[in-house]
Amino acid sequence: MEFSATTFRELCQQHGIAVTHQRQVLFEIMQGMHGHPSPEEVYARVKKKIPAISLATVYKNIHLFVESGIFREVSMHHGTLRVEMNSRPHHHMVCSMCKSISDIDEADLGLLPSHQKLPGGFLVERYAVDVIGICPECQAKKVN
Amino acid sequence: MEFSATTFRELCQQHGIAVTHQRQVLFEIMQGMHGHPSPEEVYARVKKKIPAISLATVYKNIHLFVESGIFREVSMHHGTLRVEMNSRPHHHMVCSMCKSISDIDEADLGLLPSHQKLPGGFLVERYAVDVIGICPECQAKKVN
DNA sequence: TTGACAGACGATAAGAATTATCGTTTACTA
DNA sequence: TAGTAAACGATAATTCTTATCGTCTGTCAA
Ligand SMILES: [Mn+2]
Ligand SMILES: [Mn+2]
Ligand SMILES: [Zn+2]
Ligand SMILES: [Zn+2]
């Protein structure tokens, strides 16, 4: 486990957040979950331990965990449907600050698959690569 | 342009959909748009040409274009927030049929970046690769 | 050409996911 | 242990998307 050496109390102190019962149970249950649960799925699990917990609290703490880097989001751009009209083979540069998405040509990325068969027999159609980082505009804005 | 050789009428015939004025204007405007617009952004543009158009029509036709393969979606899993608790370096296999997401270790994917600097000065933090294809379960279900 | 009719349209209600508000409670610090 | 900022629960509001439904239109065969 990633946080086995550190107690949850210490983890909260590092990030300057209060150690509440809800927060601790939420953290422990999420740590034990497999896959990529939605907030509703997490809520359902936590309610078994804390029946009075609010869905809003689940959302607020998930965001807090993600902002703190304790957990992550699967997709940087899960918000609304975005349409792709560019038919050239390309990937995306996603800014972790402003969430802007820009195209990058497959050739410019220089990322090539070396395996053809994936574990479990997954049949590959294509790759979609998100290069996550800081766009030039946000680099300029950033005060370090 | 991808469809310059083919008229919109022929494109519709290929996909068995009717050639309507709304559909044609929508298609042409979307073709001329840069980036990765949201349905609302497309709607705003199209309203200038067809003030009476409905947002529902925009959504319906965007889905139709995506289903037909005329356009694409930027993210396969933009629906709801999904949390990642797996801290090992890994990427994702996303099934284009059932939208299921499974982990694949970085090493198993065998995909390595050869460039360090990206055009435009984008500062790379990490790569997130979606391997899009058909999961074993859907391969079994599929009737070919 | 001209109906018949499936499919498409617009208006709008409904649904799902997420965020905001607000009064109460709790954890932290001195 | 009291004061205060933060967190909580309840729930309203917002945002994004889909469903419904009555009307209209494109397609195709006669
Ligand atoms: Mn793109
Ligand atoms: Mn994962
Ligand atoms: Zn940025
Ligand atoms: Zn599948």
Same domain for A11 and A56, yes or no, is: yes
Domain CATH code at residue B100: 3.30.1490
Tell whether B80 is covered by a domain. Answer: no
pLDDT at B128: 79
Q: Which residues of A touch B71 (CB under 8 A)?
A: 83-85
pLDDT per residue as tens digits for the range A72-121: 999 877 788 999 999 888 888 877 777 778 888 878 777 666 555 667 77
Tell whether A10 is covered by a domain. Answer: yes
| Exposed e or buried b per residue across A113-135, where buried means at least 16 C-beta atoms within 10 angstroms of its C-beta | eeeeebeeebbeeebbbbbbbbb
Tell whether A20 is covered by a domain. Answer: yes
Q: Between vectors from CA B80 to CA A79 and to CA B73, what angle results, nearest 5°?
A: 55
**Is pLDDT larger for residue A42 or for residue A122?**
A42
Ligand nearest to the CA of A71: 2
In angstroms, the CA of A55 and the C1' of C13 are apart by: 26
Query: Per the structure, how many domains does chain A have?
Result: 2
Same domain for A21 and A63, yes or no, is: yes
User: In the predicted model, what is the mean pLDDT of residues A15-29?
Assistant: 96
Same domain for B64 and B13, yes or no, is: yes
Same domain for B107 and B63, yes or no, is: no
Same domain for A12 and A51, yes or no, is: yes
Interface test with B, best of A74, A111, A114, A142 (most B CBs within 10 A): A74
Nearest-nucleotide field for A80 (CA, C1'): D16
Same domain for A64 and A97, yes or no, is: no
Tell whether B79 is covered by a domain. Answer: no
Tell whether B85 is covered by a domain. Answer: no
Is A5's pLDDT higher than 60? no
pLDDT at A116: 57
Interchain proximity A126–B133, CB inside 8 Å:
yes
Domain CATH code at residue A12: 1.10.10.10
Same domain for B14 and B64, yes or no, is: yes
Same domain for A47 and A96, yes or no, is: no
- What stretch of H or E contains A38? none
pLDDT band of residue A29 (cuts 50, 70, 90) is very high
Tell whether A73 is covered by a domain. Answer: no
User: In the predicted model, what is the mean pLDDT of residues A37-50?
Assistant: 97
- Given a cut of 70, the residues of chain B with pLDDT beneath it are 1-6, 97, 111-118, 141-144
Interchain proximity A130–B132, CB inside 8 Å:
no
Q: From B87, which residue of chain A is nearest by alpha-carbon distance?
A: A2
Residues 69-98 of B with CB under 7 A from strand C: 79-81
Domain span at residue B113 reads 90-141
Same domain for A12 and A57, yes or no, is: yes
Tell whether B83 is covered by a domain. Answer: no
User: In the predicted model, what is the mean pLDDT of residues A119-126?
Assistant: 75
pTM: 0.85
- Selecting from B78, B80, B112 the residue whose C-beta is nearest the C-beta of A38 gives B80
In angstroms, the CA of A20 and the C1' of C23 are apart by: 20
Same domain for A10 and A61, yes or no, is: yes
Tell whether B23 is covered by a domain. Answer: yes
In angstroms, the CA of B80 and the C1' of C15 are apart by: 14
Same domain for B58 and B10, yes or no, is: yes
Same domain for A22 and A59, yes or no, is: yes
pLDDT at B5: 43
pLDDT at B58: 98
